[in-house]
Amino acid sequence: MEQTATQSRKSDSWLPTGEPAKKSKLLPLKAVNIVSKQSRQKAKATTYSKYERIRKGLAIGWRMNTNRQGSWTARRMTADGYQFGVIGHSDEVTPADGVTVFSYDQAESACVAWAANADSRPSGGPWRVRDAAKDWLDIPSTKGGSKDAGRSNVKNWINPMLGDVPVVDLTKAQLQKFLHDIANSPSKKNTKNYDATDAETIRRGQDRANRIFHDLAALLTKAFKDRDEITSNAAWEKVETFSGVAKQSDEFLVADEVQLVLDACEDDFKALVFGAVVTGYRYGDLASILVKNFNSNNRSVGKTQRKTKMVNHVFLSDSETEFFAGLAKGKKPSDKLFTKADGTAWLKDDQRYRLAAALKKAGIQRHVRFHDLRHTAASLLAAGKVDLAYISKHLGHSSQRVTERYRHLVESHLAETIRAAKPAFATTLPSNGRVANS
């Protein structure tokens, strides 16, 4: 069960999907009896919850999301103000199972259990790794999905190995050892037939260690930002993770393929695809860019990323600036910069089938997602020999560690450049190993 430290959460759908067609029959949230499933089914979608008191200092909340899937939340009063927890989905559409989908009674019981668990941490004392892990898991994923993998990593690796260590006492050497100990250990799911000398086993172990350490670094970074007594993040920021061990599932297009896809797109979608390749923005960020986010004077576009909550400024070439200016022409500052041919906004999943059709028409048979256009933007910069640090800034990564996935592209282009620059000598190498003139 997840919590959130903010008083209200944004809708589960990061792009507007619109209200159901029959708006007149929907009830405002304040008129909904959240105990009744029938009443909840008639609720208008909101970005805030309605709370009902369970007992003093504890309340249960409910709201209808824009995808017509309701959700339960918990709220309790603490000395520091309200603390919130995410219980799960409600049962207006999907039958309750008491695990991810809850009836009112099940949600109420889960709310009480959440409050009891939240009260169990002893007060005082240093902020430990397990406390930081709990805080991190209590906040919903910024990607809108679950933190099941992170929860498993905390349970099986992080807490058993580091849980009782105060965050302020962590050292780089300690965390480096943590990383290597995991890499040299068998998976929790498969301890049989473990061969520590097998190359693929070694790669998998190191890849697993990187992913677990990524979660550890994320929860420690949150603690560093939230807790005044944690004054440095150097211990985990300086840890050297394993390179070249992840299986690349990301696709990217080379420049010629980008042109083929653009030529295969209808004009409105062509603009969106080109915008993605130019900026490296995620689909949700790209679809929500407003005209006022574009600055023609300094040739840039700036947008707060939904994932990182950080403003990412992308600098544009003259031709790219002209492209964005064309999109903005005749629109108000508050209008969407990218719209469909009929003037409406790009909604969630609108891009999926349009891109699949363009890829098919372009003769590209690989499975390329719209998000892979972000990787394409990075790979094109890497092909232009742009330093990884600049690519990281361009993509708005919170840490350059995320950009390391593109290092092999930079090194590949470096190798090609070196090979092309080497002179060719008119020599042959006979079987005796001596160089002779040809």
Structure tokens at 207: 């890849």
Question: pLDDT value at position 24?
Answer: 52
DSSP 113-137: HHHHHHTTSPSSS--BHHHHHHHHH
3-state class (DSSP) for residue 73:
strand
CATH code, 255-420: 1.10.443.10
Q: What is the pTM of this model?
A: 0.42
CA distance 224 to 230: 5
Amino acid at 431: S
Q: Sign of the C-alpha dihedral, residues 219, 221, 226, 231?
A: positive
Question: pLDDT value at position 2?
Answer: 41
Q: Which residues are CB-neighbours of 171 under 8 A, at least 6 positions away?
A: 235
Structure tokens at 39: 């009443």
**CATH class entry, domain 123-247:** mainly alpha
CA distance 169 to 165: 7
CA distance 270 to 205: 42
> 179 to each of 102, 175, 210, 217, 236, how far by Cα in Å?
38, 6, 7, 11, 11
> 423 to each of 412, 418, 420, 426, 427, how far by Cα in Å?
19, 10, 8, 10, 12
In the chain, domain spans: 1-120, 123-247, 255-420
Q: Which residue has the tokens 């600055």?
A: 295
Facing residues of 73 across strands? 61, 86
Amino acid at 173: A
| Contact present, 115 and 58 (Cβ < 8 Å) | yes
Structure tokens at 141: 């994923």
Chain centroid to Cα 322, Å, comes to 31
CA distance 27 to 35: 15
Angle between helices 372-383 and 267-279 in degrees, nearest 10: 50
Shortest CA distance to 114 belongs to which of 8, 4, 1, 35?
1
Amino acid at 165: V
CA distance 237 to 405: 17
Q: What's the average pLDDT block by block, 10 residues per block, for the chain (438 residues)?
A: 38 39 72 92 88 92 87 82 80 88 92 77 73 87 66 90 91 93 81 71 90 95 90 93 75 88 93 91 89 89 77 85 91 92 88 90 89 87 76 68 58 64 63 52
Shortest CA distance to 376 belongs to which of 204, 254, 236?
254
Write phi, then psi, for 429 (nearest 5 degrees).
-115, 100
Question: pLDDT value at position 48?
Answer: 84
> 135 to each of 2, 85, 127, 224, 406, how far by Cα in Å?
9, 11, 11, 12, 31
3-state class (DSSP) for residue 243:
coil
Compute how many other C-beta atoms are within 10 angstroms of the C-beta atom of residue 430.
8
Question: pLDDT value at position 20?
Answer: 44
Facing residues of 83 across strands? 76
CA distance 37 to 138: 26
